Amino acid sequence: MTILLVEDDRTLSNGIVLSLKDEKTEVLQAFSLAEARELLQRPVDLILLDINLPDGSGLTLCREIRQAGSTPVIFLTANDMEVDIVTGLESGADDYITKPFSLMVLRARVNAILRRQKPEPDTFQQDGFSFDFERMQFSAGGRTAELSKTEQKLLRLLVRNRGNTLSRGMLIDRIWSDGAEFVDENALSVTMRRLREKLPGIPVKTVYGIGYVWEK
């Protein structure tokens, strides 16, 4: 397992390395965007990214990473205003941790992200819901539901990221990734409403101003 840590505070960076590095985990250190881009020439499993870096913003790098692939990103930053958190999540980050933070909590959040990277079966069953994404068979309380391809994409993202709030921007990018130049943000709200109608009782909560979360 390889983690890229992009943090210009060398003391903090070294402390994080000591906390995360073990016989199964390698931690690469970058202290600027330029060093991070160079290290990203090799594959990594997770990126821990500061926002305020000496040669630019980590938000820019996060967007570049999202355009190139799906490597998970966790922001580690002193920017703790609500608008900062929303901006970070909408730039494509999988998690957002504000400084100061506990190294124990950081390690737990890192492990949670890495566990989700493992391939999951294409089936899901919980509390009367049964989803088979490969066969495109979906039911709630024993009643079959016909879902559109867009609704299936949204459902898959929510189920595979249970317990994590997914921003509207990230969902739109992932669901409508077919090259469309413009997608009205209302399209996501409409898709969510139809999904709730077809699968009544799904434990999806609206996180106002941010996105949605499958709570169970």
> What pLDDT digit, counting tens, does each position of 67-115 carry?
888 899 999 999 999 999 999 999 999 999 999 999 988 988 898 888 7
Pairing of strands 2-6, 73-77: unpaired
Pairing of strands 143-145, 204-207: unpaired
Q: Which residue carries 């580690």 as its tokens?
A: 76
Pairing of strands 123-126, 129-132: antiparallel
Contact in structure between 6 and 30 (CB atoms under 8 Å): yes
Q: Which residue carries 């949670």 as its tokens?
A: 112
Mean pLDDT of the chain: 89
Average pLDDT over residues 150-176: 87
Extract the tokens encoding 7: 């943090």
Contact in structure between 192 and 204 (CB atoms under 8 Å): yes
Count of positions (residues) in the chain: 216
Q: Which residue carries 């559109």 as its tokens?
A: 148
